[in-house]
Amino acid sequence: MEYSVETLERDLKNTRKYYGSGKTKEAPWRESQLKGLHNFLVEKEEEIVTALKHDLGKHYVEAFRDELGTLMKTLNLATKSLKNWMAGKEAKLPRIALLSSAEIVPEPLGLVLIISSWNFPFGLSLEPLIGAVAAGNSVVLKPSELSPTCSSLLATFLPTYLDNNAIKVIQGGPEVGKLLLQQRWDKIFFTGSARVGRIVMSAAAVHLTPVTLELGGKCPALIDSLSSSWDKEVAVKRILVAKFGACAGQACIAIDYVLVEKSFSSTLVTLMKEWIKKMFGENPKASNSIARIVNKNHFMRLQNLLTEPRVKESVVYGGSMDENDLFIEPTILLDPPLDSAVMAEEIFGPVLPIITLEKIEDSVEFISSRPKALAIYAFTKNQTLQRRMVSETSSGSLVFNDAILQYVADTLPFGGVGECGFGKYHGKFSFDAFSHHKAVARRSYLTDFWFRFPPWTLDKLQL
């Protein structure tokens, strides 16, 4: 739907007025919106998985694991915890404030804007929406134009499950995004590229609007030679599924490249080839288990990365592509030049460079000398190396011996540091991302001290 500035401003005025009525702050309202989201996911499951297949070629299992299942888990937690999250938490005051009490009371921020990305079109839209409504806000959600079937499904059906006076879905691309950013918001929650993140932050500065930026970057993994063949296989399978089995590598926390000791590299490549075949068959295109590239532009971008002559020479597995089907085969590169685009840009696709190092310990320096990553994965049982990774590298998350696991843990804050963004969400962190934690203090009239009042005399300090 085309949105004029006038229509948008009228709608937002009404939404603000509705927020002002206090309705969205009530616990029953919040519960009913969470229930509405739950019903949407249950009743529209078939339409949701069909849309994900249509826009991104995701298999039902992948769609269920990454979007429906994860969202149901979040909704269950939010519904179960809502009263507890909403309750003020008692706080202590200094002893000098005799006969007093204090608490920290969460209050909604107001009218919030959520702009999301296309790779997990439901998860990245509804995960923050759950936090926003649980916290009692009014919300405008703008999903991505690059996953149009999914966005249109959200725009068509969410209003029938949710309170449309408080929650609106607006479809559109950068033009609509720009229009939205010209408005005044009480919070902007953005998922997308660092380029647009900068635009969002500049727009937010005009009204001093707080922002959460969930951005991307290059997430490294390291694998040491792990002692047993079982450990090696488990590590390789986990690396491959994290790269090729979640939206074909089009994920912000997908492994971007792998660091390995030179002496272990040929064993690693052999194991990877073997397990790619076991997971995706001899003909991965026909396997149905690998998602498609979102559109022609991204396909061309990835094709350009791969066809750079020096990079092409480094292909040790895969490399085939089908533009009509937007398919790129799981592809492994061994030691592409570090100054090539594939090692400079976020790959966001099914291409996995392996970079060899003399010693696996060198990976600490390799990683810490590059921009901070959204996630680092370290497949190692070496306790000294684990400790060094914790203390000498910085990233949104750090996972040992697995990957992507952190995304589904409600108990862990999900978000970036440095150029991959700031602000946290998931679980209770989502509620906090859309709340102001107000300090409330109460004092009795029964006691008072003369020395806290003027006239100031030095003896008052000596008490």
What is the contact surface with ligand NAD in residues (CB under 6 A)?
Answer: 115-119, 124, 142, 144-145, 173-174, 177-178, 181, 191-193, 196, 199, 214-216, 252, 346, 348, 374, 416, 421
Name the minimum Å distance from CB 304 to ligand NAD. 16
Q: Which residues contact 457 (CB under 8 A, 6 or more apart)?
A: none
- 421-422/435-443 β-pairing: unpaired
Q: Residue with CB nearest ligand NAD?
A: 216
Q: Quick check: bond before 455 cis, omega within 30?
A: yes
Q: Which is nearer to ligand NAD, 120 or 161 (CB)?
A: 120
Q: Which is nearer to ligand NAD, 196 or 223 (CB)?
A: 196
Residue 141 β-bridge partners? 114, 169
Neighbouring C-alpha atoms within 13 Å toward the C-beta of 102:
13
How many Cβ atoms from other residues are within 10 Å of residue 21's Cβ? Answer: 10
DSSP 291-343: PPPSSHHHHHHHHHHHHSHHHHTTEEE---EETTTTEE--EEEES--TTSHHH
Name the minimum Å distance from CB 175 to ligand NAD. 8
Name the minimum Å distance from CB 334 to ligand NAD. 24
How many Cβ atoms from other residues are within 10 Å of residue 216's Cβ? Answer: 25
- Choosing from 150, 252, 329, 346, the catalytic residue is 252
Residue 420 annotated to the active site: no
Q: Which is nearer to ligand NAD, 329 or 346 (CB)?
A: 346
Residue closest to 158 by CA, chosen among 147, 171, 145: 171
Q: How far apart are CA 359 and CA 367, in angstroms?
A: 14
Name the minimum Å distance from CB 387 to ligand NAD. 27
Answer for the pair 343, 337: CB distance below 8 angstroms, yes or no: yes
- Choosing from 67, 127, 214, 329, the catalytic residue is 214
- For CA atoms 409, 160, 173, 181, the dihedral sign is negative
Q: Which residues contact 369 (CB under 8 A, 6 or more apart)?
A: none
Residue 214 annotated to the active site: yes
DSSP 152-212: HHHHHHHHHHS-TTTEEE---SHHHHHHHHTS--SEEEEES-HHHHHHHHHHHHHTT--EE
Name the minimum Å distance from CB 424 to ligand NAD. 11
Name the minimum Å distance from CB 348 to ligand NAD. 6
Which tokens sit at 100? Answer: 């007093």
Name the minimum Å distance from CB 397 to ligand NAD. 11
Q: Which residues are catalytic?
A: 214, 252
